[in-house]
Structures are given as structure tokens and as C-alpha cells.
Amino acid sequence: MEKDLVEYIAKSLVDDPNGVNVNMIEGEKSTILELRVSEGDIGKVIGKHGRIAKAIRTILSAAATKTGKRVVLEILD
């Protein structure tokens, strides 16, 4: 579910939706989501002073409220 969410947001923000890739590593208490985008799109998912990345993380933790599991988003370049 969280993987779909990150994919959806990232694809709406970038110029190259096909370059969006989310890898999910599921642990017992937390889930790590690794987001990769095309080289030129990195700034589009991070934003000035990390504003966009922060907004995505805020939305992710809201989505995780019901399941109670911690979700960590890592943006890889």
C-alpha cells in the first residue's frame, strides 16, 4: 500500500514517470521504501530545502497511522 502511494506521488512529480522505481524492504516493526528516479528528476522529489521529500514523508506516516507500522522513505541517487 505504502509502495503504491510513493509510486503515485513520485510519478505525478517527475518528468519521466517510467524512471520511477520503489523498492520495499519489510522488517518486523518498520518498512523501508527506497525511491529511485531518473537522474534529472531527483530535485523534483526532494525540492528546495527538502520540502517535497518532507511532505511525502508526512503523508507516508499519516498513511501508516492505521497499521501502526513505521515507514521510512529513502531517496537514492
29 binds other proteins (CB under 8 A): no
Find, among 71, 50, 53, the residue nearest to 62 by Cα: 71
18 binds other proteins (CB under 8 A): yes
Binding mask 35-64 for other proteins (x = CB under 8 A): ------------x-x-xx-xxx-xx--xx-
Torsion of CA 21, 27, 31, 37, to 10 degrees: -20
24 binds other proteins (CB under 8 A): no
Stretch that binds other proteins, among 5-13, 32-40, 68-76 (CB under 8 A): 5-13
